Amino acid sequence: MMMMRLAGGVRRSQAALGGLQSLLRSPSCVRSTVGSTARWVTTPQQRQADCQSQKRWATVDSKQQQQQQQALQEKYERKLKQRMAKLQQPEPVYTKLVSGYQVYRHDRPFAMQLDPERPLPGFEIAYETWGELNADKSNAILLHTGLSASSHARSHADNPQPGWWEQFIGPGLALDTNKFFVVCTNPLGGCYGSTGPSSINPKRTDEAVGEDGQTPRYALDFPMLSVHDMVRAQFHLLDHLGIDTLFASVGSSLG
């Protein structure tokens, strides 16, 4: 009985081995022996088929990426067109203003924080206002400009040109002139009406007129300026207007 079982097991093993040998003789797979290590490798035909399959998938992925990029570009262009359509006002004119602003004149020496040995003999601050100051002068908003902007933040009767914050200042807007008194200055050191390097140097008015027909300017003789000096000059303007407390102080960029 035991011998019969062993014989049956041997026949089954031989049959399985024959099936495996038949499979190994197929052209899709071969046995490679390197030293004492045996490994199975694919045939050139199978590797070529796998390579072609990978290329097809890579082509599909590339097309999908291109479609996604194109969709994003079209979405960006649509949003850009929508934003541009909302901007009804033309780009403000940033050329030097010659009128349309008020001037505060400070006729006392003004020492600079970083250059105290060379105080200004006095200075002027160009400013513009919108709205009305209430009775207790508690509704004032001081608007600060960027580094190179003028005090002309919004158009008004004295200067109808659109300002650089035209869509933010006015009745019912962010800085509501029905509620607030908005003050914007050209900071000290600026070139839009306030005293700065382009201003006439009063210490040199006795010198000969230059080739341009004008008296000498401060130019490089203008003392070193700090933001602290700009703010102090604004405080003098607020004192001149009788404003002790601001409702808010807002601005863009440098402001």
pLDDT digits 0-9 by tens, 104-152:
999 999 999 999 999 999 999 999 999 999 999 999 999 999 877 899 9
Chain centroid offset of residue 216 CA: 39
- Report pLDDT for 213: 61
Rounded distance between C-alpha atoms, residue 74 and residue 77, angstroms:
5
Q: Quick one: which of 238, 35, 222, 203 has its CA closest to 112?
A: 222
- Report pLDDT for 229: 96
* Three-state secondary-structure class, residue 31: strand
The residues, any chain, with a CB within 8 Å of residue 229's CB and separated by 6 or more, are 110, 112, 113, 114, 188, 189
Sign, CA torsion 14/19/25/30: negative
Rounded distance between C-alpha atoms, residue 70 and residue 210, angstroms:
60
Segments of the chain scoring below 50 in pLDDT? 1-7, 10, 20, 23-24, 26-38, 91-95
- Report pLDDT for 23: 46
- Report pLDDT for 59: 66
Rounded distance between C-alpha atoms, residue 90 and residue 112, angstroms:
39
Q: Each residue of 188-225: b (16+ CB within 10 Å) or e? A: bbbbbbbbbbebebeeeeeeeeeeeeeebbbeeebbeb
- Report pLDDT for 80: 76
